[in-house]
A = this chain, B = another copy of it.
């Protein structure tokens, strides 16, 4: 395994109006802050750029910051001491990360593709939250939603077979990517088979075989690496064993 470097990361201070015209604000927790007070948020925001396959932080690191994904894709994962890995989530623009317990991150975070994030120092964010409880309410709502998603993933990992897992994964991705098209659907699939396998609790070989099975069943096409076409989302949903 290639250990990603933390150095492949660049920081920068934002311009004064960073948050006001940010195009992911509507999707991020930042929407809890009104235009009038958005400067207070911008004041504690730094931008972080991550190259593909580089780490944002590792499980156990001091949790000094929290983040919002602005562009790209971030994967979260945990490792067992012998190297077994579980990917616990793929984050898209608007998603919040930085879950900590006892001052330490409880998972590692790595860029799947080149990504840009907003970074907030925890102490300052806590201070801002005390002044603006709407932020706290927003974060509670997001944590609640994440908890519901986590429970769906437990069902997947505990009770679904390989094809159901892959179908569930593709359907969930399609939903999050926001297209509501009923017919064909072109989805970016930037993560490798190993990441998908570690997310679904399978091996790369089983993931590959399941892709082939879905392809032979006429539900998907893999025209080129990094892309998947979905046909009949309703049929895929049925295969996901909701």
Contact = CB atoms under 8 A, between A and B. Distances in A.
A157 interface: yes
A140 B2 CA distance: 36
Interface string A138-162: 0110011111101111110111100
Nearest to A139: B140
A80 B160 CA distance: 9
B153 A78 contact: no
Copies in the complex: 2
Nearest to A129: B137
A122 to B, nearest CB: 12
**Chain A: number of interface residues, binned into ranges:** 35 or more
A133 interface: yes
A173 interface: no
Nearest to A164: B80
Interface in A58-107: 76, 78, 80-82, 84-86, 88, 99-101, 106-107
Contact of A88 (B107, B137, B144, B151): B151
13 contacts: A78-B152, A78-B155, A86-B151, A86-B158, A99-B148, A101-B145, A133-B133, A136-B136, A136-B137, A147-B147, A150-B150, A154-B154, A154-B157
Interface of A: 76, 78, 80-82, 84-86, 88, 99-101, 106-107, 129-130, 133, 136-137, 139-140, 143-148, 150-155, 157-160, 198, 200-201, 241-242
